[in-house]
Structure 1
Amino acid sequence: MSNHSEWRQPNPQRSGREPIFNVPAVVAALIGVFLLVHGFRELVTDDFIWLYQLAFVPARVTWWLQPADFMQRLLASVQGAPPDAVSGQLALGRLIVASGSLAPWSLVTHAFLHGSWTHVILNSVWLLAFGAPLASRFGAVRFTLFFFICAVGGAVAHYLSGPMEVIPMIGASGAISGCMGAAVRFAFNVRGGLFGGPASVHLARADSLADTFRNRRAMMFAGAWFITNILFGVLARPLGVSESIVAWQAHIGGFLTGLLLFGFFDPHPAGSSASEWMRDTD
């Protein structure tokens, strides 16, 4: 082994594609928790009360901030809805008042709950795709904290878009969207990008935020992602799809959180390449 401090590019022969199941332990652990929690929910016949405490409910925050006339404001917000929907949402509003709990943990715990096996499997696949390179780059502790903060970012965006919403929001999509936003900062600096690039994509040079906006491939990906989510939000109701099924606002909030906060978690300076933080080991 040489004892000099010269930096160099990784040997291409060492940076070939990794086996498909060779994923960071922290990503495998998160997916395992997703599956275990949903499996437990499938076994429990009546999990609504504890589910409602772990899910994120925007109106619960509104009640905590402004408890006066909460039920009257909730009634005004559902005017024009079908009678069954009105009665159901008022019942949930009364549950919020009766519980008297802000449930701040729900800003994170909602990410570990899913509505169906399809939901949890799709989120697991997306976490594998975008979380694995990010976890390899950050390390387990940084990645876990980053995942939690992106979940909070998604929940905050969901709250801002509908502060009187009583329908619980569940799913890891907001946090995973944060991983997508973070990946934009480095994954498109290698040939082929995130999906067609080498196994060492996590070693790619990271862009500053300003340089990210000048990266054409990164902006094409981000633009397509935003357009897809915004179109869903605009077209969901006319197409007869309930917006509460997919909290697209949380996706956008998580994505922006990951994009903007990436630099605070990345252990490597923006603009540095793999050759500048991998030592010669020959």
Structure 2
Amino acid sequence: MFPIRDHNPSGRTPYVTYFLMAANIGIFLSYFGIMEDARQINAFWLDWALIPARLDDGQGSYTLVSSMFLHGGWWHLAGNMLFLYIFGDNIEDEMGPLGYGLFYLAAGVAAGWTQYFSAPLSTVPTVGASGAIAGVMGAYLLLYPKAKVDILIIFIVFFRIFPIPAWIILAVWFAMQFAGGVGSDPDAGGVAYWAHAGGFVAGLILAIPVWLKRGGPGYWQRTEGHPPHPEAHYKLAASRIPKISRRRRGPWN
């Protein structure tokens, strides 16, 4: 189950969101060739990934930013870019290009610090844009809790697209990150749950001034949690497969 689009069109071209996507993809491609070489990729992570133990020694503060533009594989990159594409344009629309860019970096740095405080002596490298993107999702939850988000559910050979309110998928996602953080060992590697949770909370808090500028609780009352503009409507394209008549045929046909 994962989101594929929302029904919340933005009023301007999200240039910063596109730039962030291009930067993440371009940087990943720049080192993709060394990922099969353990010595080279480990040296690369040592220089640019967020390693809590280095921060604890007062070193590598720049990795709070550099690490959010690195990814551990194609699926890691694709998942993050999908979420950024779905939710980023609307937050950029609300904050403006400069404000959104600063917000994104601030949420990512907050996510990095959260991961550090969860295990300050850990030597496990942390990479990924998911902490910053979690911040975008937190802001989206505050501003558009009832915006429709289409999710694709795949069950073996069955798949369906369902529109659900944004607050459901975002709240469930945050709950999964929090539960994952409580039940995991940060020193063992794997998903950086606390970075996700910290980025989400930071993004929600950083978006409060925008929410208050729009009227705070009054904004929610006016929009009932929906976007303040008409929502987009989608319909699946008609199948190109011709229909076959089911008329009963005799045994001689």
* TM-score, normalised via structure 1 length: 0.61
State whether structure 2 residue 177 is matched by structure 1 residue 229: yes
State whether structure 2 residue 30 is matched by structure 1 residue 36: no
Q: Specify whether residues 247 and 136 from structure 1 end up closer, same or farther in structure 2 by C-alpha distance, changes over 3 A only.
A: same
Q: Specify whether residues 126 and 218 from structure 1 end up closer, same or farther in structure 2 by C-alpha distance, changes over 3 A only.
A: closer
Structure 1 alignment gaps of length 5 or more: 1-15, 65-101, 197-216
Offset at residue 235 of structure 1 (A): 4.9
Counterpart of 2:109 in structure 1 is: 152
Where in structure 2 are the equivalents of 1:203-282 lying within 5 Å? 220-221=168-169, 223-235=171-183, 244-264=189-209, 268-271=213-216, 273=219
- Determine the C-alpha separation between the residues in 2 that align with 1:267 and 1:139: 16
Offset at residue 225 of structure 1 (A): 2.6
Higher relative contact order (CA 8 A, sep 6+): 1
- Determine the C-alpha separation between the residues in 1 that align with 2:167 and 2:208: 18
State whether structure 2 residue 2 is matched by structure 1 residue 48: no
Q: Size of the alignment, in residue pairs? A: 197
Counterpart of 2:231 in structure 1 is: none
Higher helix share: 1
Higher strand share: 2
Offset at residue 23 of structure 1 (A): 5.4
* TM-score, normalised via structure 2 length: 0.68
Seq. identity, % = 27
Counterpart of 1:86 in structure 2 is: none
Structure 2 alignment gaps of length 5 or more: 1-6, 151-164, 223-227, 229-253
Helix, strand or coil at the partner of 2:145: helix
Report if the CA contact (8 A) 1:233-1:243 is conserved: no
Helix, strand or coil at the partner of 1:246: coil
Helix, strand or coil at the partner of 1:195: strand
Offset at residue 267 of structure 1 (A): 9.1
Offset at residue 63 of structure 1 (A): 1.9
Report if the CA contact (8 A) 2:123-2:187 is conserved: no
- Determine the C-alpha separation between the residues in 2 that align with 1:23 and 1:170: 28
1:247 partner amino acid: A
Cα RMSD, aligned residues only: 3.1
